[in-house]
Amino acid sequence: MASFAAPRLHVIGAGLAGSALATQMAQDGVSVTLYDSGEPFASRWTRGMKTSPKNHKVAEPEIFYDPEDLVRHFFSQWPEIPRKLIRPAHAVIGLKHPGRSPAIIDLDHGIAAALIARRPTIFARLFTAWNLWFSRYASEDRRVSQRMRVAADLGEDMETPTATYHQGALATLAEVLFSMPAHNCSAALLGRVLMPTLREIRRHNASHAFAAIDPIILNDIALPTMRDHFIAAGGDIISGMELGDIDSTTDFATDLFFGDDQIEVRPQDAVVLALHPRPLCDAVPDIGIPPAPAHRRTFVFQASKSFAEPCCVLADDDLVRAIYCNRRHIQVSMNSSLILPSDGTAVQLAATIWQRVTELCDQHLNLDLSERTKIETGDEHPAFSYVDCEAPFPELSPGVAALRHRITPPWRNLFLCGDAFPPDYPPGPAAVIASVMKVRAQLHEYLKLRDL
C-alpha cells in the first residue's frame, strides 16, 4: 500500500488512452485516481459509429494504420482479451491520372515502402525515399498540396496543374489519416508519419501494416477487463467529474476544479489530461494547439453478411476518400471538398455514394458488395446512417503541426496523453497506445525523482 505522502497520479479522461494508462500505472504500484465526465472505461469506437463520448460526436474508422503492431501487442498482455479484437486488414490505395489507367498500390507492407517500391528505377526509388525523409523537416508553411484556385470564382480561364500519381497518393493519405484537406495539412505532419525512422526505408513488414479493431469486443470485453485489473491494483474511479479549470503556480498545477469540487494536487503528484481537444484547450488555454477539431463526414452502410477479411480502399476520388469494410459495416469517408447538406437530407446523395462505393470496391478490391448487402424493394442502396461530426484530433495549422513533437505542458507535473501528441503516428488506436507508452515512461521518471 502506498503511504500517505507517496506521490499520487490523477488521470482525467477515461477513454481508451486514459483507461490504458491508468491501468498500467496502477499495476506498476502507483496510487491512481481516474476521473471522467461520463462512464469510465468507454472508448470512442462504438457499434456502427454511434456518437461517443457524450457531447463530442466522433466517427472512428474501424481500420487503422499500425505498421509496428502496437495495439495488438498492448492488449496481448491480458490473456482474457480475445485475440480477434485486433485483426490484420488488407489495404490498397487507388489513384487516377488523366489519360492513364488507374493505379492500385498495395499498402499491406507499409505506406512508405509501397510508395518507394512502385518507382521504376533504383535512382527514382532513392529520390522518392529522400523526398519522403526530407518532408519530416519541411518548413512550417509547406503544405502537402497547394489549394487550387477556382476559375469560375475569378472570372478567368485557368489550367489546372496535373498531379502525378505520387502527389495524388500524398494528398489522399493526408486527408484520410488526418481528416483534413491536403492544402491544409502540413508536409512535416504527414512526413513524420510516413517515414518515422531511416529503417522504414528498407522495412518490410511481415504482418499487415493496417489492422481492424472490433468495437464490440473492445467495449464489452477488453475495457471491462482493464477496469477489473485497475480496481484489483487499488485504483480509484470517480465518474461524473467534468474538468473545469486548473489552478497553478509558475511551475506546478496545484488544484483541479470539477464544478463545485476541488482536488488538491501536491508538488510530488502528477496530473495526466487524456481529453478531447475542446475540453483540453478549455482547461489549459496555453497548451499551444487550437481547440477546433478536424471534421469528418461519413456514410455507414449495413451489410447482411460479415466480411471474411477486413479491408479498405483509400481513393483519389471526387466523392469518396476511404472505404472501410469490417464486420457488417461499410464505412465511407467523404471527400472534404464535397459539399454535403447539414439539414438531414444526405439521403438524397446516398444512392450516388453507394454506386461509387460498389465501383471502387469492385475495381480495387475485386469485391462484389451486392453479395453482402440487402437492398429493399424500391431502394437504390442498403440501409445506412450519416455521421457529420468532429474528429478527436485538432486540425492543426501547418505552423503548429510542424512543431507538434515539441508541444509541452505549461507545468512540470502535467502530462498530455492522446492520439494528438505522438508525432510519428496518425490519429487512431496506434497513436493512443504510443502516447500511453511514452507518458508511462515520463511518469515513472517524474514520480521516481519526487519520491526520493
- Whether residues 414 and 433 share a domain: the answer is yes
Q: Is 342 left (phi over 0), alpha (psi -120 to 50) or beta?
A: alpha
- Whether residues 319 and 277 share a domain: the answer is no
Decide if 111 is inside a domain.
yes
- Whether residues 280 and 305 share a domain: the answer is no
Tell me if residue 10 falls in helix, strand or coil: strand
- Whether residues 202 and 113 share a domain: the answer is yes
CA gap 34, 238 in Å, rounded: 6
Tell me the pLDDT tens digit for each residue of 255-267.
899 888 899 998 8
CA gap 436, 446 in Å, rounded: 15
Quote the domain boundaries for residue 369. Answer: 295-391
* Lowest mean per-residue pLDDT among 71-75, 125-129, 265-269, 445-449: 445-449
33, 57, 88, 117, 214 from 20: Cα distances, Å: 13, 21, 22, 37, 17
Decide if 71 is inside a domain.
no
Decide if 94 is inside a domain.
no
* Lowest mean per-residue pLDDT among 127-136, 194-203, 255-264: 194-203
**Closest alpha carbon to 288 in 433, 396, 437:** 396
**The C-alpha cell that represents 285 in the structure block:** 488555454
Looking at residue 131, its amino acid is: N
Tell me if residue 448 falls in helix, strand or coil: helix
- Whether residues 399 and 286 share a domain: the answer is yes
- 287, 36 contact by CB (below 8 A): no
Q: What is the mean pLDDT of residues 47-65?
A: 63
- 294, 178 contact by CB (below 8 A): yes
- 330, 296 contact by CB (below 8 A): no
Decide if 77 is inside a domain.
no
- Whether residues 171 and 127 share a domain: the answer is yes
- Whether residues 232 and 118 share a domain: the answer is no
Alpha-carbon Rg for the chain, nearest whole angstrom, is 23
- 442, 272 contact by CB (below 8 A): no
The number of domains in the chain is 3
CATH of the domain at 442: 3.50.50.60
- Whether residues 399 and 283 share a domain: the answer is yes
18, 146, 344, 417, 427 from 437: Cα distances, Å: 12, 36, 41, 10, 15
Higher-confidence residue: 99 or 102?
102
Decide if 68 is inside a domain.
no
- Whether residues 403 and 278 share a domain: the answer is yes
Q: What is the pLDDT of residue 160?
A: 45
- Whether residues 420 and 383 share a domain: the answer is no
**The C-alpha cell that represents 100 in the structure block:** 492513364
Q: What is the pLDDT of residue 105?
A: 92
- Whether residues 324 and 381 share a domain: the answer is yes
- Whether residues 280 and 236 share a domain: the answer is yes
CB neighbour class for 234 (10 Å; exposed up to 12, middle 13-18, buried from 19)? middle
Final residue of a structural domain among 391, 412, 434: 391
Tell me the pLDDT tens digit for each residue of 201-213.
555 556 789 999 9
Q: What is the mean pLDDT of residues 322-344?
A: 82
Decide if 2 is inside a domain.
no
Q: What is the pLDDT of residue 448?
A: 80
Greatest mean pLDDT among 199-208, 299-308, 390-399: 299-308
Decide if 67 is inside a domain.
no
Higher-confidence residue: 77 or 164?
77
Question: For residue 25, what are the contacts with CB-CB under 8 A and spacing of at least 6?
Answer: 9, 11, 32, 440, 443
